Structures are given as structure tokens and as C-alpha cells.
Amino acid sequence: MSTNALPSIVDPGTWQRELDALRTREKAATRELDAIAAQRRRLPMVRMPEYTLEGENGKIRLADVFEGKTQLIVYNHMWFAGKEWQCPGCTGFTSQFTRLDFLDNYDARFVIVTQGPIEEALAYKRRVGNQMAWYSTANSSFGADVGAPPGEGFAVNVFVRDGDTVYRTWHTDGRGTEQIGHSFALIDLLPYGRQEEWQDSPEGWPQSPTYSRWANSEDIAALYGT
């Protein structure tokens, strides 16, 4: 007999009824997410100042970070001055985004913005194998103004451009960022889930301290970097 913690074993008919009951909740959640997205599309926006960031080719206006697109998603990556390895959560999270060309069809672009000096930021990008464009706001208040101040905080911000004028349309941070990634979505499908102590799981399910199963920045670099 197995000593592993396992779901109960039932006949196929019982399993299907349990799945159908869960599916009802899943479908309701999908419809609620559709309604949330509809409300997001109706949010008002705020006009942004004319920020200057730094990219691989030097200084660049925020409006030009769009590279001609109308919409821009920015992941504000945490940065700690003088550290060889930056935030493992941000490093692991952004390692998911490897094929972003499909955004071209939606008149949109996705980039990383960090408080780190551009030379250090680009070196870190290569070290951990990150693939989207990185920009630095080290010499600008942009990061602090959008909820990701120096030395603390990460965020997702969305902007829309009308000519040379940029507007901020949406922001989230903390667990709100999970919705744009696939890693937790995949893990949450597993019988044991994230296996973290806070998670509501049956008695005997494997559980560990929060974050203890996350890959650290060195792991990410070994898997994907140079």
C-alpha cells in the first residue's frame, strides 16, 4: 500500500460528478474574470510626465519605449544596489516570458523597467537569460511614481500612447501579478498544488515554508543564462 498522501479513490461516475461540480465553480470564475477585464477596459487613465529612461542604446523617452506601438506592459523588476543576484521572485517570474512577438498583433509591447543602472541591468539580463527588452529608471522618478520605488517593490503597469503623450491605465503588485504568468497556473493544477504552508490542502498533503520551493536567481541563471 502506498504511503504517499493521495486523493481518495472512487469509481468513474463519482469522479465525473465531483469534476462537474468543480467545473461549475471554474466556469463561474471564468465569467467573473471576463467581467473584471471588461471593467478594466473602462478604467479612466492618468496622463504621465515626459519621463526619460535609459535603454541599450542610451537615453530614451517613455513614449519611444513603445517602439511605435499604442499599448505597453511594463514589469517593474526589483533592484538592490550592489547585489550580484537580484530578487529571486522577479528573476524567476520574468524568466517565463520568452516569446512575446504575438503582442505585435495587438499593437502592444512588453518590457522590463528596473531601478538598476543600465549597464548592470543589461549584464544581469544576460546572466539570467532574460529575453525581453530592459530599461533603467535609475536617473528618473518613473519607478517610484508607478509603485516600484528604489530598493523595494515590484509591479505591473500598463500604458497607452496617443502620439507623444503617454497615459497610465492599470497597475497591480503582489499576488496581482500572478495573473500574467503561467507558472503558478500550472502548479495550481497539480494535486499537491504549491505545497506552501498557507495553502488550504487536505491533511497529510506535503507543505513547506512559503517560497522554499521557488528557484533562486542562481538556479535561473544556471537553467537559462549565459
Query: pLDDT of 170-219, one tens digit each?
Result: 999 999 999 999 999 999 999 999 999 999 999 999 999 999 999 999 99
The model's pTM is: 0.93
Q: CB of 147 within 8 A of CB of 113? A: no
Query: pLDDT of 15-71, one tens digit each?
Result: 999 999 999 999 999 999 999 999 999 999 999 999 999 999 999 999 999 999 999
* Residue 151 included in any domain: yes
Residue type, 203: E
Query: pLDDT of 67-106, one tens digit each?
Result: 999 999 999 999 999 899 999 999 999 999 999 999 999 9
* Residue 20 included in any domain: no
Q: Range of 78's domain? A: 46-173
Burial class from Cβ neighbours inside 10 Å (0-12, 13-18, 19+) for residue 64 reads middle
* Residue 94 included in any domain: yes
Contacts of 119 (CB under 8 A, 6+ apart): none
* Residue 28 included in any domain: no
C-alpha–C-alpha distance, residues 113 and 135, integer Å: 5
The CATH number of the domain holding residue 74 is 3.40.30.10
* Residue 97 included in any domain: yes
Task: Please tell me the total count of domains within the chain.
Answer: 1
- Please list the residues that pair with 77 across neighbouring strands: 114
